[in-house]
Amino acid sequence: MEEQVPTCQGCGAPQDGNRVLCVYCGGGYSEELLRTAIPCPAPLCRVPNRFGLHHCARCQAWLVVACVFCGATSPWNTPACLQCGEGFQGAPERKAAREAAAQRQENRETASVVGDVAATFLGAVVGVMLDD
């Protein structure tokens, strides 16, 4: 069964696959496309684009942002990553703080191991000195 290509609700023109609004009359192709559309972030464009596109169909501006935590892309107008749920505002700072805390913990663990080895070695040296 062949998939039906959406047509403009205003003039009946077939959809080109990327646009939400008809290039001929400006009418919408469907209520669902309009509801889920991502507006272009460019102030002089603001054209609604199909959900899932990475670039604006008109001006090629980026429609998505990459999450610094998981690397997934989400629409620019969402407050958090759709993949991992991390908020975009302050994300680089939160990631840097988490990485710094993990590095401090790793340094503490290394120091603890080195301290245990040094204490064992020092105890052996003192033991040898006392035996003499």
Model pLDDT for residues 79-95, shown as the tens digit of each residue: 999 999 999 888 778 88
pLDDT of residue 8: 87
Residue 85 CA to chain centroid, in angstroms?
9
Question: Tokens representing 89?
Answer: 């505002």
In this prediction the pTM is 0.63
Give pLDDT tens digits for 1-29: 556 777 888 888 888 878 899 889 988 88
Section 26-53 average pLDDT: 93
Q: Is the dihedral of CA 27, 30, 35, 38 positive or negative?
A: negative
pLDDT of residue 124: 67
Pairing of strands 73-75, 64-66: antiparallel
Longest Cα–Cα distance of the chain, Å, equals 104
